[in-house]
Amino acid sequence: MKRKLWQSILLYATVIVACAVVLFPVYWMVVTSLQPPGSLRAYPPHFLPPDPQWQTYIRLFIETDILRWMANSAIVAVTATGISMVAAVLAGYSLSRYQTKSSENVGLFILMSKMLPATMLIIPLFGIMRSLGLMGSLWSLIFAHATAIVPFATWMLKGYFDSIPNELEQAAQVDGCTPWGALFRVILPVAAPGLAATSLYGFVLSWADYLFARTFLANNADSWTVNLGIATFKGEYQTDWNLVMAASLLAALPIMIAYLFLQRFLVGGMTAGAGK
Amino acid sequence: MTDLTQPRPVTAPVRRSSGLFGIDLASPRHARKLGYLLLLPAVLLILGILVYPMLLAIEISFHDVKFATLSFGASDYTLKNYVKLFTSSDFWNAIGVSAKLLVVVTSISMLVGLGAALLVNQQFRGRGVARMLIALPWAIPEVVAVITWLWILDASFGVLNWMLLKLGVIGLPISWLNQPLPAFSAVTMVMVWKGFPFISIMILAGLQSIPEEYYQAARVDGANVWKRFIWITLPCLMPVLGVSLVLTVLWVFRDFSIINVLTGGGPVGATETLAIMTYEEAFSFFRMGYASALGVVTLIICALISAFLVKKTSHAVF
Amino acid sequence: MADIQIQNLNKRYGSFQALHDMSLDVKDGEFIVFVGPSGCGKSTALKILAGLEAASTGSIIIGGEDVTELAPAKRDIAMVFQNYALYPHLTVRQNIGFGLMMRGTDKKQINQRVERAAQALEISDLLERRPKALSGGQRQRVALGRAIVREPQVFLMDEPLSNLDAALRVQMRAEITALQRRIGVTTIYVTHDQTEAMTMADRIVIMRKGVVQQIGSPDALFNRPANMFVAGFIGSPAMNFLRGKVQRDDRGLFADAGGLRLPVVEAAASYLGKTVICGIRPESLDLARGDAPALEITPTLVESLGTEAYVHFKLPGQQVATAVAGEHEHQPLGNGTLIARLYDVGTPLSGGTIRLGLKPQASVHLFDPATEQAIS
């Protein structure tokens, strides 16, 4: 089926308009961050910065703790993703391979736990973290994030493991592997794209969190994550939109980059467990 | 031909003993035990950080307390919180706002998500890039997204007002966050922008798993584009649509960050959802018992909605 | 290399009995084929032998050692899977050497042995490729290489040829048999294809619904089937079953099957005057000569294969439909159809009636209509 010319033009036009609309806020972040405050009040607004200013970023690094916030976010996201991946890989594998009636129930239980509203859990968690002395510590966030990631990650990974034939680890076991050996030497390398997609999901979830950070870390500015930092910072620098946008862009950058690299794995991974 | 029947080379002696507590988990007899062992870390995490707090929250909701207690039965049980809840106009307002937001945001997001997925599922050059870009908002943290939108929506210098004025849609700049309807619209806009990419990603994967033969067969049978969409694409997408719907509903219903940073629930409660109200009661007014009761109600509603949706879209493996 | 004893093996999944009291002695170096339609328990038995599934009761002894509770890794067996189960992330060389590496063989020796195995299977030039870049036949060879390189006590093969096209299957069938004869490793081979079983096995174990039906050499199964299932499963086209009344006249005991006089064994004397089921292989029928007693039939279909022709016909009231079994066991379809396999037929057969008689030396198999067991 060959497309007619007008159909092609229409298609490309639609794609370009759709992408432009969707990406406009990101573009606007970049444009704003490169203009001095005065230029931002121009009417009509500048859609291309007349005189791009990189000083905004230098000012950001000097005047704010953005680098530390980003480092905190990175520590939390990496550790939480790591912990949750260990738990989710094992659980997903178990659900995929050792499916019995009771393990199906466990699977359901894991998914049900995704239904719990965070705004409810945070009330007792606030008390728990305080009594454990973890208030203001990154560990409080790490545990909360890890647990928040586990249910969906388990589900995604189960889907991936389901797509790998059973015979592969049976062959590995006959070849001399223990069940552990078969998992680590054969199944995990084969499931690498799934692991990448799931890790990305976990990383994005952790990096984007605001609720837990705000509740657990608010009183210790040293441990602020980037979202918490920016939200507070926006309150202080109300009108310096160039500075706020520069900080926002930086905060979004790591996961945007990770997303651009791993996006192709994500498409398969999200629904790996969804339909048969 | 090579001779394979030479003396049997010495292979390493097979290890005999091993395993945990003298149980060889590799033995076929114990495979199931290994299965449960593997579930343990995830289950422990979930028990410790989801289930235990959930039980605590339910417990707290039956006590008249300002702060969270960590043990059960520490003080007298009371239904005070629930009574107060169901007689409070704020609560019913929050229910209304949540419901309105749920319907509006979910339906728009599903439509936009489906449209975007169908669009980038077409054959064209640059499709890979388009797929990547159109779902980019998924990767942007909610707080960052909201702050960017705050600037776009800025009443005096925001670019959205300028565009709408230029297009003649509005006569005067809108003060987006200070009036109920515009504030609600603003929340909807941001949530759709942030929420549809996930749906697109899911649907796109679903689309790719529909065998091309179905379309060819339908074409042979004389089905046009529209008929093919109704009779092949949609039915094949049902599981994915069902899962996306449930996940989106849960997200809209429970999300905190977007509304908190964008409007804080205002103006005059126009965007105050159950989630926002719960958090406010707990951490602004320190009425943790009352807030927990709100949380429990939220949980029950979530459970009911998803049970209903799962039943309606029972193809979904959920 | 070792002998294997399977003793009273049972496997239950809940209330479903997948394997019923299976016992078998396998001699060292023997090539045993488990055959039967899917769901007959052959694959379950193989998985239990491999240690991939636990037996409910019973035991397995390989080379004098009870391995029932041992992990697959400790049984010193090698297995070839239906889908080959090659490790997609490893090269062919790494795939073949994987088992040796897991057993701590040193690198140099692994390389030597991998290359020797590759040479034997003529895949030396594929060693650096990944499985994705191989054809089905090549994958099959790699899977075999992975098994032989370990020089295990036992080979287990689970329908290894069923993913290949017909021509390649015939070739690989011969190669596997030759390979096994050469290295002499005790082999258990699972298939649903009776041709594979007949051509490859020293002894065949034919199974149905978890129960072993008969154990014996291909000749024994073909010539002395223990029951109607075995008789119908082995041989292609399948045996015809006709109802016949046992009678005696001056020429001896015979069964009268719709005008055809079928000489029967003396053991059928106890059925005198009763109806039995007579099994006649399609090859045993021929055009009747002269005025010999014969079946007058009208072919419903004639399939000509050049040197031979399959004549399909029906004998209402006389024929017995049995479950058709290949990979899947089908319920008998209506009355089914009978087939005569005729060689060197000069004249066209379609249209009109023809007269079929029994070949002079052909044997007739008798079965009890109630128990379906052979009468002998």
Residues B152 and B52 in one domain: no
Query: Has residue B6 got a pLDDT over 60?
Result: no
Considering the domain boundaries, does residue A199 fall inside one? Answer: yes
CB contact under 8 A, C69 and B27: yes
Helix then strand then coil, in percent of chain A rounded to 5, is: 80, 0, 20
**Which residue range is the domain that position A133 belongs to?**
64-270
Give the count of beta carbons closer than 10 Å to the beta carbon of residue B275: 28
Answer with the one of C232, C250, C280 that is the final residue of a domain. Answer: C232
Considering the domain boundaries, does residue B14 fall inside one? Answer: no
Residues B57 and B95 in one domain: no
Confidence band for B14, pLDDT divided at 50, 70 and 90: very low
Considering the domain boundaries, does residue B293 fall inside one? Answer: yes
Of C72, C146, C150, the CB nearest to A173: C72
Considering the domain boundaries, does residue B138 fall inside one? Answer: yes
- Number of structural domains, chain A? 1
Considering the domain boundaries, does residue C376 fall inside one? Answer: no
Backbone angles phi and psi of C209, in degrees to 5? 50, 40
Answer with the one of C179, C210, C232 that is the final residue of a domain. Answer: C232
Considering the domain boundaries, does residue C373 fall inside one? Answer: no
Residues B238 and B279 in one domain: yes
**Which residue range is the domain that position B44 belongs to?**
28-61
- Number of structural domains, chain C? 2
User: In 3D, which of B56, C225, C205, B223 has the Cα closest to residue A121?
Assistant: B56
pLDDT value at residue B17: 44
Residue with tokens 């990603």: B201
Considering the domain boundaries, does residue C372 fall inside one? Answer: no
Residues C204 and C59 in one domain: yes
Considering the domain boundaries, does residue A73 fall inside one? Answer: yes
Domain of residue B200, CATH code: 1.10.3720.10
Confidence band for A80, pLDDT divided at 50, 70 and 90: very high
Chain A closest-CA separation from residue C264 CA (Å): 49
Residues B94 and B153 in one domain: yes
Chain C closest-CA separation from residue B203 CA (Å): 28
Residues B126 and B53 in one domain: no
Residues C208 and C247 in one domain: no
CB contact under 8 A, C54 and B29: yes
CB contact under 8 A, A11 and B122: yes
CB contact under 8 A, B141 and A208: yes
Considering the domain boundaries, does residue C375 fall inside one? Answer: no
> Which subunits have 3 or more CB–CB pairs within 8 Å of chain A?
B, C
**Which residue range is the domain that position C266 belongs to?**
241-367
Mutate to test the interface with B, among A90, A120, A184 (most CBs of B within 10 A): A120
Whether B15 has its CB under 8 Å from any CB of chain C: the answer is: yes
Q: What is the pLDDT of residues C49-87, one digit of tens each?
A: 999 988 999 999 999 899 988 888 888 899 999 989 999
Considering the domain boundaries, does residue A91 fall inside one? Answer: yes
Considering the domain boundaries, does residue B133 fall inside one? Answer: yes
Considering the domain boundaries, does residue B71 fall inside one? Answer: no
Domain of residue C153, CATH code: 3.40.50.300
Confidence band for C1, pLDDT divided at 50, 70 and 90: low
Mutate to test the interface with C, among B29, B32, B33, B34 (most CBs of C within 10 A): B29
Q: What is the pLDDT of residues A133-190, one digit of tens each?
A: 888 889 999 999 998 899 888 888 888 888 888 899 899 999 988 888 889 999 999 8
- Number of structural domains, chain B? 2
Of A179, A258, A275, the CB nearest to B240: A275
Considering the domain boundaries, does residue B72 fall inside one? Answer: no
Considering the domain boundaries, does residue C374 fall inside one? Answer: no
Q: Mean pLDDT across chain C, nearest whole number?
A: 88
Whether A82 has its CB under 8 Å from any CB of chain B: the answer is: no
Residues C260 and C209 in one domain: no
- A169, closest residue in chain C (CA to CA): C85
Whether B211 has its CB under 8 Å from any CB of chain A: the answer is: no
Query: Has residue B266 got a pLDDT over 80?
Result: no
Whether C71 has its CB under 8 Å from any CB of chain B: the answer is: yes
Residues C197 and C313 in one domain: no
CB contact under 8 A, C51 and B27: yes
Residues C207 and C308 in one domain: no
pLDDT value at residue C262: 84
Domain of residue A213, CATH code: 1.10.3720.10
Query: Has residue C93 got a pLDDT over 70?
Result: yes
Residues B40 and B121 in one domain: no
Structure tokens at A239: 């009108």
